[in-house]
Amino acid sequence: MTGRPEILWPLFGALSTLDGVGPKTEAILAQSGISRPRDLLFTLPHSGVDRRRRSSIREVSPPTTVTVEVEVIAHIPNRQKGRPYRVTVRDAEVTFQVVFFHARGDYLTKVLPVGAKRLISGKIELFDGVGQMVHPDHIVAADQVLDFPDFEPVYPLTAGVTQKQMFRASRSALALAPSLPEWIDGPLKQREGWPDWLDAVAAAHAPTDTADLSPHDKVRQRLAYDELLAHQLTLALARAQVRRSKGQVNVGTGRLRSRVLAALPYRPTSAQSRAIEEIAHDMASPARMNRLLQGDVGSGKTLVALLALLIAVEAGGQGVMMAPTEILARQHLAGLQPLAETAGVVLEILTGRDRASERAAKLAALAKGDIHILVGTHAVFQKDVVFRDLRLAVVDEQHRFGVAQRMELGAKGTAADVLVMTATPIPRSLSLAQYGDMDVSVLDEKPAGRQPIQTALVSTARLDEVVDRLRRAIAEGRQAYWVCPLVEESEVSDMTAAEDRFKHLRAALGEGVVGLVHGQMPPAEKDAAMARFEKGESQVLVATTVIEVGVNVPNASIMVIERAESFGLAQLHQLRGRVGRGSVASTCLLMFQAPLSESGKRRLEILRETEDGFRIAEEDLAMRGAGDMIGTAQSGLPKFRVADLERQAGLMQLAQSDARKLLLEDPKLLSDRGKAARTLLWLMEQDKAIRLISVG
C-alpha cells in the first residue's frame, strides 16, 4: 500500500480551494488545527440557532433569536456621537426597534428604506417593555430566498473567523466528500441503525434541531465510532505486531516465589493471585507479553511485580524494574531487597548518580548475569547497559511513557516481556484509549491489615486547631505530611507558599521537627529531606505535590492537604494514599477555603465518601472530561474531534473488540471490509498503523 487512496485526495488538498477561504483565513484556521478540507468535515457544529420564520416577535420569549418579516416605519438618526442609530419597524403584530452602533445613515437608508418590507433575523431583547434587535445577523428583501437554514449550525470559532465563513467553508468541504466503502461491520451497523459515512457527515453539518447535536444522536455516534475504530485498529495492529514478534518462553519453577511467599506475614489478596496467574501464563507463552497492571493506591502492585521478576530469574534470565524518578527507584530497592535476599536473588540499583567505578562494576556484573534483577530510572536504557539475558521489563507509573517508549523498551532485551504498572485508576473508556494495545490485570482489593483512612473536611479558618492537633499527634510519635496548595502564578509561586507554611509550622512546632521539599530544590537536598523524614528524624514534611507518587513512610499517618479544592480528584486520591500504609489508623484532613464552588464541594465530598480509586476516577471523568483528567499533552491520550469519551464510553469498548476481531479474521486487511478499513485509517491520518500493516 504505497500511499493515500486517490478517492481521498480532494479532502487533503489546500483549504484555500474552499469557498470563502483566503490566505488570511487559511493561516488563522491552521493555527487551530484545521489545515485541510478533511479537518473541516470533522469540526462539527456544537450548537444551533432556530431561525424559522415567525409572524411576530410575540411568538418567542426574549432574549432569543427570531426571524420575522417587518415593514420599515421610520429612521431615528443618532444626534450625539456615541449614541445608537435606531430604525422603527413593525411586524404582523407589534412595533419594535432595530438598533445600530457606529453605523452610517446613508448605508442604513439604502438597506432599510422607509416603507419597504424586509426579512430580518437576530437577537431580540426587551428594554422598558419595548423590543430591540441590536445589529441583526441577516437583513434581506422580503421576497428573497434566504441563504441560511431554518436551524442554523453554530461552529466552534477561532478569533478572526466568522460563523458565515465557517458555514460556507464547511459546505464547500462537504461538496468534495466522496462516497466511501463501508468499514463498519454490517450486522453492527444495522443493529445500531447508523447511516452511511457520507450521509452521516452531511447530516452532522445540517442539524434540524438541538437533539441532532447530542452525542447520543445516531449520526454523531456513527462518526464518533469511525474515529474510535481507527484509533483501536492502530492499537490492535501494534498489539498484533508485538504478539507476532517472537517472545521467549519463560516458565518458572516456583522455587524462588515460594520462598518469598513463605516469608510474607500475610497472604496475597485474591486479586494479586489472579494477576500473578495471568502474568505467568503470558510469560510461558511464545508470544511477547505486553500487559498493564492497574492497581489502586496501596493494592500491592510491588509484590506482584517482584513475583513476575522472579519468574524471569527462575527461567534462567534477568529482570529490570524501571521507575520515573530516583526517589521511587530507591524506594523500590528498599521494599524489594529484603524479599529478594530471602529468595537468594541478587538485586542492584543503577541511577544517573552512580560513581564511574561503581557503575563500571555494576555493568560488568550485569553483562555476566551476576545481577539477577536491576532497579533504576530510565538510565537503565543507556547504550552501555547490557544484560546477559533480559527476560522481563517492568515499568512503574506508566503515564510517563507513551506507546512509542513501550516499544523501545521491549527492544532492549531479545523480545523481553513487558509489564507496565500504574497506580492511577483509570476509567475503562480512557484505559482503552491509552492502553488498548495491552492486556490488562486489575488489582481492586486492599491487602489485609490495611486500616481505612478517616477523611475529614476542615475550613482554613480553623488552621490553628489543626496545628494544635498536629502537636499532640507528634507527641504520640506520629508523623504527618502537609501538602501546600497549587498556587496561581499571579499571587505567589508554589515554592513561596511552601516556604511560608514551613516557617509558620517550624515556629509553632519547634526546630528540627519540620522538613520541606518542593519542586525547585536541587535533587540532593530533596532526597536528604525525604530521607530525614523516612528515618523519623523530622516529624512533619511540608511539601508541594512532589510526594504524590510512590513515597512510602509507614509511620506517617496524617495527611493535611491545604486548599484541597485547588486539586483534582485523582491527585487528592493519590496524595491521601501516602498515609494508611502502616498498622495505625490514619487521617486525611482536606482543608478548604470557604465558600466552595459546587464542583469543589462535590469533589471533596466524593473523597470523604469513598476510598475506591476506580469509583473516584469515574466521577473525575464525569466532572472534568478526558483531556483535563490525565493532562492530554503528556498522557499519550489521542485528541478526538468527534468522539466524547465521557458520554460515549460504551463505543470505545465496542471499537476495541471489533478492531481485534477484524484483525483476527483478516490480519493483512485484504478483504473488502479490510480494504475499507485501510481507507478509514488514511482518512483518520493513522499513518503509523498503515506502516504496521505494510511491515506485517
pTM (two decimals): 0.66
Provide the pLDDT for residue 160: 82
Q: Does 430 have pLDDT greater than 90?
A: no
Best-predicted range by mean pLDDT (21-30, 520-529, 576-585, 627-636): 21-30
CA dist., res. 304 & res. 359, Å (int)? 28
Write the single-letter amino acid at 326. E
Q: Does 408 have pLDDT greater than 70?
A: no
CA 534 to chain centre: 33
Q: What angle do CA 288, 289, 291 make, to 5 degrees?
A: 155
Q: What is the mean pLDDT of residues 259-270?
A: 90
Provide the pLDDT for residue 694: 64
Provide the pLDDT for residue 492: 56
Identify the architecture of domain 255-443 in CATH: 3-Layer(aba) Sandwich (3.40)
The tens digit of pLDDT for each residue in 435-489 reads 777 888 888 877 776 778 899 999 999 999 999 999 999 999 999 999 987 655 4
- SS3 assignment, position 479: strand
Provide the pLDDT for residue 612: 79
Greater pLDDT, 82 or 339: 339
Spans of all domains in the chain: 6-48+156-213, 52-147, 255-443, 453-610
Contact status, residue 502 vs residue 516, Cβ threshold 8 Å: yes
Burial of 144 (0-12, 13-18, 19+ CB in 10 A): exposed
Rg (CA), the chain: 32
Q: Provide the Cα torsion 503, 506, 512, 516; round to 10°.
A: -50
What does each C-alpha distance from 574 to 40, 559, 580 come to in angstroms? 40, 11, 12
As given in the structure block, the three cell numbers for residue 524 are: 540532593
Provide the pLDDT for residue 405: 58
Greater pLDDT, 62 or 201: 201
The tens digit of pLDDT for each residue in 318-364 reads 999 988 778 788 888 888 999 999 999 999 999 888 888 999 999 99
CA dist., res. 416 & res. 412, Å (int)? 7
CA 346 to chain centre: 39
CA dist., res. 591 & res. 601, Å (int)? 12
Q: What is the mean pLDDT of residues 549-575?
A: 82
Whether 52-147 shares its CATH topology with 255-443 is answered no
CATH topology assigned to domain 52-147: OB fold (Dihydrolipoamide Acetyltransferase, E2P) (2.40.50)
Provide the pLDDT for residue 665: 92
The tens digit of pLDDT for each residue in 158-206 reads 778 888 889 999 999 999 999 999 999 999 999 999 999 999 999 999 9
Query: What is the number of other CB atoms lying within 10 angstroms of the CB of residue 271?
Result: 20
The CATH code of domain 453-610 reads 3.40.50.300
Least confident of 31-40, 215-224, 270-279, 566-575: 566-575
Map grid coordinates 464510553 to a residue: 649
